[in-house]
Amino acid sequence: VNAVPMVNLGPDTLVCDDKPFVLQASGSGNAQLLWSDGSAGKSLSATQAGTYWVRASNGRCIDTDSMTLSLRECIVFKTFTPNAFSPDGNSSNETFRPYLNENVRVTAYELQVFDRWGNQAFRSTDLNTGWDGFVRGEKSPQGVYIYWFRIEYVDDKGPGNALLRGEVTLLR
């Protein structure tokens, strides 16, 4: 006498689209498995969204389970930092600041900008506040400035941090 097979794929799942998701058939014991794609292993590697099913059988007894797999674009830390800006009042490129994927959760941030003599021209801990080209209410001269920013964040890969440095040209 064979035991009644039982199979479980778990709940419907939402995952990143950056790598295959492996569905595992649990509780199947010695039953023979048949997946929705015709394969017969203990697991199935899925790369597309959809509903997947597995059937466990041991002769006359059958159990089936299914799950719906949904995919979304993976949220990863990426940054873009302009190499020039022109705070001239035309509403375009008015401030200097780094830009990053808006879905990344920022846990700490600091931006500093220095003139060519190493004097601090700007500092902010607010990701949405950029340098407007002024130092203590005075227009900074056109030229190349050094910046660095430190950021701590959480994306789909987990917690991370970065220290990025570079040059930005202030155009008047």
List per-residue pLDDT tens for the chain, 172 residues long: 678 899 999 999 999 999 999 999 998 778 899 999 999 999 999 999 999 999 999 888 999 999 999 999 999 999 999 999 999 989 899 999 999 998 999 999 999 999 999 999 999 999 999 999 999 999 999 999 999 999 999 999 999 999 999 999 999 9
Q: Can you tell me the distance from the alpha carbon of 3 to that of 145, in angstroms, rounded to the nearest whole number?
A: 74
Q: Can you tell me the distance from the alpha carbon of 49 to that of 72, in angstroms, rounded to the nearest whole number?
A: 9
pLDDT for 79 = 95
Q: What is the pTM (predicted TM-score) of this model? A: 0.73
**Cβ 114 vs Cβ 141: under 8 Å:** no
**Cβ 122 vs Cβ 114: under 8 Å:** no
Query: Helix, strand, coil % (nearest 5) of the chain?
Result: 0, 50, 50
Query: In the structure encoding, which two tokens stand for residue 120, read together?
Result: 């601090």
- Strands (E) across 31-157 are located at 32-35, 43-46, 50-57, 62-72, 79-80, 84-85, 99-100, 105-114, 120-124, 134-135, 138-139, 143-155
